Amino acid sequence: MQKLTRLLLGAAVVALAAPVWAEDSSDPIIIPTHNWSSQIVMSNVVGQMFESMGNSVEYVSTDSQAVYEAVRLGDATLEVEVWEGAFGASFMAAVEKGGIHDVATHDAVTREDWWYPMWTKEACPGLPDWKALNDCAALFVTPETGDKGRFLGGPVDWLKHDQEKVEALGMNFVVVNAGSAAALWAEIAAAEKDKTPIVLFNWTPNFAEAVWPGEFVNFPEWVEGCDKDPAVGPIPDKVYDCGNPANGYMKIAAWDGMKDKWPGAYAALQKVNFTNAQIAEMAKMVDIDGMEPEEAATAWLEANEAVWKLWTE
């Protein structure tokens, strides 16, 4: 029966791979997935890669902040997308407590900042300069913000410092926090219908760039210490008088025990490396083309054998 052949095949793969990675434990490697597609696809890509090496893999969906605690305790084995801006703090806090460490850094850079879809630029041609945006504040007025423009921020637990930025740069904006990424997308989708100007929090890499072309607002460039030292940055007596880093890191993190328990998989994980384009492509396969994350991962692995085969050697 089909079941049996699959089982035999699996056993054969294990048997064949065994001499090479004899020391890898047969316990499943637990890969956490979150609620955005590029991360799920990437987790599946890495997972299927491990499976091709004879490891068994399981996926568990978790909260993207709480996951670092889970990895630290070994409940989950690794995390493939650690964004500097969004999760840097949680990750570092977990690293300090011990049990989790930084395995590798992707080539992909992350950026998170104020962003607008292209139709906004037609109404406010001076963009992407932040001063021009400030002059157009009236375009972004909503009933609840009175005579100031509205900036739609991400959920408060993402710990962005938009309010501080508005104050530091003396901007004519009010920060309204959406409660979830889905609420942000729903707002863009609604604004698209009648091309209402909108400025909101967004990040790259991300599926939204493929659906709604847009740009980040250019704030005074990020300088180290701008968030702590008032003297750094253009405004002498304010902190956060700058944009977010335009090239934040995206790391891979793993449980400290992984190295000893699955040395083969760990060695491969150290070489895993994705670029912005690859990540955007993975998100697109799911969010635009409507594939399932597992299918998308399989398709990606088939199309990019040259890339990932090197990692497993």
Residues at the contact surface with other proteins, assessed by CB under 8 A: 1-2, 7, 30, 32, 35-37, 40, 56, 58, 60-63, 65-67, 69-70, 73, 75-76, 142-144, 152, 155-157, 176-183, 185-187, 189-190, 193-194, 207, 286-287, 290, 292, 295
Query: Closer to other proteins at the Cβ: 20 or 156?
Result: 156
Contact 78, 103 (CB under 8 A): yes
**Smallest separation, CB 255 to other proteins (Å):** 13
Query: Closer to other proteins at the Cβ: 137 or 242?
Result: 137
**Smallest separation, CB 225 to other proteins (Å):** 25
Contact 80, 46 (CB under 8 A): yes
The residue among 91, 93, 96, 55 whose CA lies nearest residue 267 is: 55
Query: Closer to other proteins at the Cβ: 129 or 256?
Result: 256
**Smallest separation, CB 222 to other proteins (Å):** 25
Contact 62, 70 (CB under 8 A): yes
Tokens of 34: 């979150």
Residue with tokens 């491969």: 268
**Smallest separation, CB 283 to other proteins (Å):** 9
Contact 37, 72 (CB under 8 A): no
**Smallest separation, CB 87 to other proteins (Å):** 10
Q: Cite the beta strand spans of the chain per DSSP E.
A: 29-33, 57-61, 78-83, 100-105, 111-117, 149-153, 173-177, 200-204, 214-216, 250-255
Query: Closer to other proteins at the Cβ: 177 or 275?
Result: 177
The residue among 65, 45, 108 whose CA lies nearest residue 300 is: 45
Query: Closer to other proteins at the Cβ: 156 or 303?
Result: 156
**Smallest separation, CB 176 to other proteins (Å):** 6
Amino acid 206 reads N
Query: Closer to other proteins at the Cβ: 159 or 231?
Result: 159
**Smallest separation, CB 216 to other proteins (Å):** 20
* Rg of the chain in Å (alpha carbons): 22
Cα-Cα-Cα-Cα dihedral sign, residues 93, 106, 67, 111: positive
Query: Closer to other proteins at the Cβ: 147 or 313?
Result: 147
